[in-house]
Amino acid sequence: MVFLYGVLGGIGVGIAYNCPIVTVGRWFPDKRGLALGITLFGFGFSAAVIAPILDLLTSRFGIFNSLRILGIAFFVITMVSASFLRFPDKQRETENLKMEGKRSVLAELSREEIVKTRTFYGLWSSFAIGTLAGLMAIGISKPAGLEVAENAGIPEDTVSAVLTALMVPFALLNGLGRPFFGALVDRFGPRKTAMLSFSLIFSASLVLFLIPYSLEVYAIAFGVLWFNLGGWLATAPASTAYFFGLKDYARNYGLVYTAYGVGAVAGNLLAGLSKDILGSYLMVFQFVMLLAVIGTIVAFATLKPLKAQ
């Protein structure tokens, strides 16, 4: 399981994830954030499509035969879909470069060059904090909801199905956050978009910490956190192109994307420690508020056009 699912599958996802992002970034330089967000909507919404299919397959064929069926299906779908991925021809590339030249800031940096800028470390840190809050919320959505229900005096058997059903709108919000925040990067730039995201994360965490007994507050706050996670998965690649250009975009974003993995590990560890030490998953949101404040300061100080530094 560790090798096939974790290592081999993880490498495959990492490679496949980067290919459409790099391709889309080359085709739509004027609306890159929106284009990336729409592309990544498929990545986020896929679970809502695959989960019921997997349930149907496992009920009929068992888990191992279902995995074989899905493995073959994914191979065929990936091969067919990949055949349509190609960079623009030279004429389109020339037009895109002219469009790129109209931006107020234009930098074309390699991976070796971006690690010498504070913008890279600011973007990496912001991405890590944003995904920490979002992935942690995904990981503890149901147990945190059960804690809220317990605080409100609602029996678990009464509310369990409701909390499970909430995963569908949460997943939809996660998907919709990608084109929404991608479009914000196009319009307002990475710094203002990141600061807005951290403001929303702070607000959602604050109400969860102050009102840990309302299922309505829980649903709205966790919806905001899922929405922001989707937003960061569009904000980060769009910001990478915005700050560092397209010359070495695939390698640059590959490095920025490591923040996602760090945020995932740190977020789940933080939530687990909160439960073990403080006795509640909801107590973790006091720390998320602090991280959101730090993220706001980092974004304000570092996510500036390179020529402005």
Residue type, 304: K
Count of other CB atoms within 10 angstroms of residue 27: 15
Q: What is the pTM of this model?
A: 0.81
Topology of the domain comprising 2-308: Growth Hormone; Chain: A; (1.20.1250)
Domain boundaries, the chain: 2-308
- Residue 123: band (very low, low, confident or very high) from pLDDT cuts 50, 70, 90: very high
Split at pLDDT 50, 70, 90, the class of 23 is confident
8 A C-beta contact, residue 218 and residue 137: no
**3-state SS, one letter per residue, for 194-232:** HHHHHHHHHHHHHHHHHCCCCHHHHHHHHHHHHHHHHHH
The model's pLDDT over 68-120, given as tens digits with 9 standing for 90+, comes to 999 999 999 999 999 998 888 877 766 666 665 555 445 788 889 999 999 99
Q: Which residues lie below 8 Å from residue 116, measured CB to CB, with a gap of 6+? A: none
Q: What is the pLDDT of residues 227-258, one digit of tens each?
A: 998 899 889 988 998 898 877 888 898 899 89
pLDDT score of 107: 73
**CA–CA separation, 244 vs 297, rounded Å?**
21
Share the mean pLDDT of the chain: 86
Alpha carbon 185 to its chain centroid, in Å, reads 15
Is residue 230 within 8 A of residue 173, CB to CB? The reply is yes
Mean pLDDT of 274-299: 90
Q: Encoding tokens for residue 111? A: 């991976």
Dist. CA 24–CA 36, nearest whole Å:
6
Q: Name residue 285's amino acid.
A: F
